[in-house]
Chains A and B, each alone.
Chain A
Amino acid sequence: MPVGTFSPSTIEIDYDVTLITDHGALTGLADNDHPQYVLVSNTRAIILASSPTVRTVALATDTLEMLVWDGLAWYVAPLELIVQPNAVDMGLLPPMVQNDRAGYSAATITDKTINNSTIGGNANTTTGSIRVSSGVLQIYLLGTWNDVVTGFRFREDSVSGQYELEHRPIGFTSWIEVMSGNSDALGLNGLPMTQGYVTSMGAHPVHQQIVGRTITS
């Protein structure tokens, strides 16, 4: 058979360029005719509806369960998944070792010490919630936020030897005895620099004066 030479200068081909992206739309194929593979949409229902031809382990993305196909049926694997946020910095997490998990649950932390932490705001309004609001430490009790009083101490007075309840107002450095309003700090004349929560100028505080009333016979 003679062989000729075909030398066109231009060849034009017309074809349909519609792309097929659906597996089931291909001629002769169905949507799920590779049952050895789990569908992309790995919900628990889809996984359980499938019957892989080989033993398979699958993660149900909606329930976070590990499902095991042993060739005959699906089983839920007895595994606990712990979801960690990106910024976990508690105890030795991560990496996690078995002992560190004791005391942690989804809702509570038990028998752990919190170090190097700061109490900030708190949107929870359950009894026992704590927060710092406008520079004041507060605890939620009896249905309301209550200020936690700070700046108080009991101290043995260096002169009288008695224990006194003292207060240091926020923003100041001097301790004031609550009952008298007198400061620990003394002036050069030996009197408290502050008396009755009142302070004079200079280094020689004045004697506290009694404001008298009219005495009648």
Chain B
Amino acid sequence: MPTFFIAPASHATTPGNDTTGTGTSLLPWLTISKAHTSAATGDTIICKNGTYTWSSQTFTKSLIIQAENSGLAIFDGAAASFAWTFGSITISTIGIIFQNASRTSASGYIFTSGSASAVVLFSRCSFLTLSIDGGAFALGGIFGVSQNAVSCQWSFVSCLLNNPIKNNTSHQQIFSTVDPSGDDVVSLSIESCVVYLSTTGGLAMNSIIAANYAGRVLLRLVNNIIFNGTGNSLSMTTTGNSGSFSTTANYNDFHNITSPPSGTGNITTDPLFENPAGGNFNLRPTSSSQNVGTLV
């Protein structure tokens, strides 16, 4: 499958340009939107190093969106409100940092597969200071689905979610799912990730994952560190209006999490990050989360 390139306008050697670019490494495009329009299902879009303007995009083609160098392609939302929406596609996002977005929408999400039967993978991605404001509605989230007669699958592998916050007083969560039809399942796998909750710049989230309005979540948690640094009581999962979970949780550190899921190898001790306030989530040598995970 063809590989195309995008680059920020500030790229030192090959700045991106949607008009004059051709999608090659030497003449990359500027935006994901242009790449999505030009690419075909199955193609790979390589994001060169630098900071991109992050804005709304609806994906209708199965794509791999990958940083040329992991952690050096940054999509910055400039605190604006927008969403990435995935259709009934398979999309893999690898090695990209998403930061500084604020979704203001009733029951809105920053990343969503809506009511589509999507397969979504985030691998080695960081989500930094993303906020949600659902107003009076309690169904919003950083990620979310609102199913209708479809099932979908979301996976997070080796990702960092640092300081997800809300800006309203109603109930908000990191991952929200609703299913008015009540007959579908969200398969949600979170593996080897760090979720670090604080209140910097906003209010504390109410839960990590919520199943509302008959939403059913098949949840798999392995080798994660979920750290609640908000000072508030915070649950891993919440349900409402007949929502439900089927949870497998093994070898996780649920620190300061209310009623954490049970399973094999789970602990609740402080993981002892090096410097979370400075964005350093390496484990100190004395961390009890060290060397106690499982092969995956």
Contact = CB atoms under 8 A, between A and B. Distances in A.
Asked if A and B bind, the verdict is yes
A200 B283 contact: yes
- B193, B251, B281, B291: which has the most chain A beta carbons within 10 Å? B291
Nearest to B284: A206
Contact of B289 (A173, A186, A189, A201): A201
Interface in B258-296: 271, 281-283, 285, 287, 289-296
Contacts of A197: 295
A203 B193 contact: yes
A203 B160 CA distance: 7
B291 A202 contact: no
A187 interface: yes
Nearest to A199: B293
Nearest to A198: B291
Given A188-B124, A189-B282, A209-B285, A200 B158 contact: no
Contact of A186 (B70, B290, B294): B70
Interface of B is mostly: loop
Contact of B158 (A173, A203, A206): A203
Interface residues of A, number: 23
Contacts of B126: 188
Contact of B225 (A198, A199, A202): A202
A193 interface: yes
- B126, B158, B287: which has the most chain A beta carbons within 10 Å? B158
Interface string B75-103: 00000000000000000000000000000
Interface string A149-177: 00000000000000000000100111010
Contacts of B223: 199-202
A201 B158 contact: no
Given A185-B158, A186-B70, A187-B192, A202 B283 contact: yes
Contacts of B271: 201-202
Contact of A202 (B71, B193, B285): B193
B287 A206 contact: yes
Interface in B144-200: 157-160, 192-194
A200 B291 contact: yes
A112 interface: no
A138 interface: no
B244 interface: no
A190 B285 CA distance: 17
A194 B291 CA distance: 9
A193 B70 CA distance: 15
A11 to B, nearest CB: 84
Given A200-B289, A203-B160, A188 B281 contact: yes
- A186, A202, A204: which has the most chain B beta carbons within 10 Å? A202
A189 B158 CA distance: 10
A204 B295 contact: no
- A185, A200, A209: which has the most chain B beta carbons within 10 Å? A200
- A173, A188, A200, A203: which has the most chain B beta carbons within 10 Å? A203
B252 interface: yes
A189 B223 CA distance: 16
- A176, A185, A188: which has the most chain B beta carbons within 10 Å? A188
Given A188-B158, A201-B252, 20 more contacts: A173-B296, A174-B296, A185-B157, A186-B158, A187-B158, A188-B70, A188-B124, A188-B160, A193-B158, A193-B192, A193-B296, A199-B223, A199-B293, A199-B296, A202-B223, A202-B225, A202-B283, A202-B289, A206-B291, A209-B285
15 contacts: A172-B296, A185-B157, A186-B70, A186-B124, A188-B158, A193-B158, A199-B223, A201-B224, A201-B225, A201-B289, A202-B194, A204-B281, A204-B283, A206-B283, A206-B290
Interface of A: 169, 172-174, 176, 185-190, 193-194, 197-204, 206, 209
User: Closest 10 CB pairs between A and B?
Assistant: A199-B293, A201-B289, A202-B225, A203-B158, A204-B282, A202-B194, A198-B291, A172-B295, A203-B194, A201-B293
Interface of B: 70-71, 124, 126, 157-160, 192-194, 223-225, 251-253, 271, 281-283, 285, 287, 289-296
